Structure 1
Amino acid sequence: MSSTDTRSDHRISPIFLGIAAVMAVSGWAVWSGFSSSPGFAVFLFVVSGWVVSLCLHEYAHARTALHSGDITIGAKGYLTLNPLKYTHALLSIVLPVLFVIMGGIGLPGGAVFIERGRIQGRWKHSLISAAGPLMNVLFAIVLMLPFAFGATHSWPVGFLAAFAFLAMLQVTAAVLNLLPVPGLDGYGIIEPWLSYDFRRQVEPFAQFGLLAVFGCLWIPEVNVAFFDFVYTVMGWFDVPEDAIRYGYTLFRFWVSD
């Protein structure tokens, strides 16, 4: 840690705490049936939970970069979990939330600006890129463990469905973001090991990688194969596919039957 770091650089942002509070309150509303609009409560729970996971995803990148040699991370506010501190709020928050709304797909985008020149060693660069998706993997496992241990049998149906759908978003985020596509973390993992000429040729396409992946998922055959794989992974933890689908239905409360 540099001498210029201050305690405020590492203090959790009130904005993040507020989002976490929305997740907790809306989760309680779904569990208790308190809300007169269960779909809206599910929407708030899932979106706030998803934004929390996005913040943790970017935090994992930043924390790993800090310990790898980029001592400027703290001053940029990345360690506060404040989504407004990210360099590309559109890519980090707005687009991923829109992807969830449009297609039920969790796909975080790269956001924290890391001064790679301060970091020595290809393994460190790869680990920085891997840290974000690994956070999604951890988040997904935590959400799916109650299903694996049979702890969800007494849960209210709406809460179980919302919980399952949020877990599914984490699985999709981990799988998609680990693809070796320029602009995604999967490519960032292997990039340090590629030739300089290849990296220069690919670099102009990085800004389109996120949208290209999302576009491919609109191809019916690709979409079916992708979600078959996601449901297979979640099946390992005994997460019911019907619950996931019902969670997505509740989430899209504005769609009439």
Structure 2
Amino acid sequence: MTTATTRRPGERRISPVFLGIVAVMAAAGWAAWTGATSGDGTGLAVFVFVTAAWVVSLCLHEYAHARTALHSGDISVGAKGYLTLNPVKYTHAVLSIVLPVLFVIMGGIGLPGGAVFIERGRIRGRWRHSLISAAGPLTNVLFAVVCTAPFWLGLLDGVPAPFRYALGFLALLQVTAAILNFLPVPGLDGYGVLEPWLSHGVRRQVEPFAPFGLLAVFAVLWIPSVNGVFFDVIDAVLRALGVHEWDTYWGQQLYRFWQGTPFVPPLNG
């Protein structure tokens, strides 16, 4: 165990695994930007770029939880490897990385991942507990701002259509992840923000439902009417940020290159 005065070498050094994912993201983004590929190759470039960028955002999401916990009193996160941005170090790598990527491939939804293990007993103060839970989805919010900045700043003149559409789809994933994560549902970060302010009795009653919160949200989203309202909200947020439905639609079509998108549509729709 790491103590306040001892620290294992490399426990805060960025992992080569994470750097490799960033390198893949950059290479695929370059391919989508320059048109180094054509036909189905363009879709493949968009697929790799968006998937790698999505994994990067998941790593940053978990890192934000861990880093905030570190500064709030849980010095154990370093020894667990959470500060290296290495996805294989997460307590629930399948929930944190694999499952969210599968949901992006299947349904185009930025599903929130599992959480790093925080030793809450080391942390004092309800505000600190709430901030630790909020840090993850706030990272998705920041990522969404970065992805949409070229849209609302009017910096897309001359940007190739495949890259623009990929950026629009990636923004959609970040917005959905932020909104879903902030839902006050047991097992999600939104409930984690609220939990410290609830009575002990309420928390004990809710605790058994925490493992099923994410599944419940997913099940509700399968209801067509709920799904429609949810994506109407997502579209409204994206429009406010300058991202048109045309961008996100064709971004998702290119992402699903295996469905055989026949061409890259023009920017003017």
**Residue 19 of structure 2: aligned partner:** 17
TM-score, normalising length: structure 1 = 0.97
Higher mean C-alpha displacement, 19-28 vs 212-221: 212-221
- Number of positions where the alignment pairs a residue of Structure 1 with one of Structure 2: 257
Match of 2:4 among 2, 5, 22: 2
Aligned-pair identity in percent equals 68
Q: Deviations over 1:139-167 (max 9, x none)?
A: 10011111001111311111100011001
Match of 1:150 among 140, 150, 154: 154
Q: Does 1:26 align with 2:28?
A: yes
Q: Does 1:235 align with 2:239?
A: yes
**Residue 173 of structure 1: aligned partner:** 177
Q: Residues 108-119 of structure 1: matches in 2 within 5 Å?
A: 108-119=112-123
Secondary structure, in 3 states, of the residue corresponding to 2:10?
Answer: helix
1:197: Cα distance to partner? Answer: 1.5
Unaligned runs of 5+ in 2: 262-269
Q: Distance in 1 between matches of 2:27 and 2:90?
A: 26
Q: Residues 62-73 of structure 1: matches in 2 within 5 Å?
A: 62-73=66-77
1:218: Cα distance to partner? Answer: 1.3
Q: Distance in 1 between matches of 2:95 and 2:241?
A: 31
Q: Distance in 1 between matches of 2:157 and 2:107?
A: 28
Q: Distance in 2 between matches of 1:226 and 1:153?
A: 31
1:172: Cα distance to partner? Answer: 0.5
Secondary structure, in 3 states, of the residue corresponding to 1:72?
Answer: helix
Q: Distance in 1 between matches of 2:204 and 2:160?
A: 53
Contact (CA 8 Å) 1:109, 1:210: kept in 2 or not? no
Q: Distance in 2 between matches of 1:239 and 1:192?
A: 36
Q: Residues 125-136 of structure 1: matches in 2 within 5 Å?
A: 125-136=129-140
TM-score, normalising length: structure 2 = 0.93
1:216: Cα distance to partner? Answer: 1.2
**Residue 52 of structure 1: aligned partner:** 56
Contact (CA 8 Å) 1:87, 1:112: kept in 2 or not? yes
Q: What's the RMSD between the two structures over aligned residues?
A: 1.1
Match of 1:141 among 116, 139, 145: 145
Amino acid across the alignment from 1:254: W
**Residue 88 of structure 1: aligned partner:** 92
Amino acid across the alignment from 2:247: A
Q: Distance in 1 between matches of 2:161 and 2:190?
A: 35
Contact (CA 8 Å) 1:110, 1:185: kept in 2 or not? no
Q: Distance in 1 between matches of 2:103 and 2:208?
A: 23
Match of 1:43 among 20, 43, 47: 47
1:234: Cα distance to partner? Answer: 1.0
1:108: Cα distance to partner? Answer: 2.0
Q: Deviations over 1:49-85 (max 9, x none)?
A: 0000000000000000000000101010000000000
Secondary structure, in 3 states, of the residue corresponding to 2:124?
Answer: coil
Amino acid across the alignment from 2:220: C
Secondary structure, in 3 states, of the residue corresponding to 1:254?
Answer: helix
Amino acid across the alignment from 2:140: N
Secondary structure, in 3 states, of the residue corresponding to 2:184?
Answer: coil
1:226: Cα distance to partner? Answer: 0.7
Q: Distance in 2 between matches of 1:201 and 1:109?
A: 24
